[in-house]
Amino acid sequence: MPSFSSDEMVERLQRAWDVEPGYSKTAIVNAVTRAAHTEEWRSWSTSEDLERAAGELLYARGWNVQLPEGAQLYSPSPARASRERRSGGFFHLP
Domain boundaries, the chain: 6-86
Alpha-carbon gap, residue 85 to 90, rounded angstroms: 6
- Choice between 90 and 20, residue whose per-residue pLDDT is larger: 20
Q: Specify the DSSP class assigned to residue 42.
A: S
Region 80-91: what's the mean pLDDT?
57
pLDDT at 87: 56
Work out the percent of the chain whose per-residue pLDDT is above 90.
19
pLDDT confidence tier of residue 22, bands split at 50, 70 and 90: confident
Does pTM top 0.75 for this prediction?
A: no
Print burial letters for 8-18: b (CB count within 10 Å at least 16), e (below 16). eeeebbeebbe
pLDDT over 60 (residue 94): no
Alpha-carbon gap, residue 90 to 5, rounded angstroms: 29
pLDDT over 90 (residue 15): yes
- Choice between 70 and 39, residue whose per-residue pLDDT is larger: 39
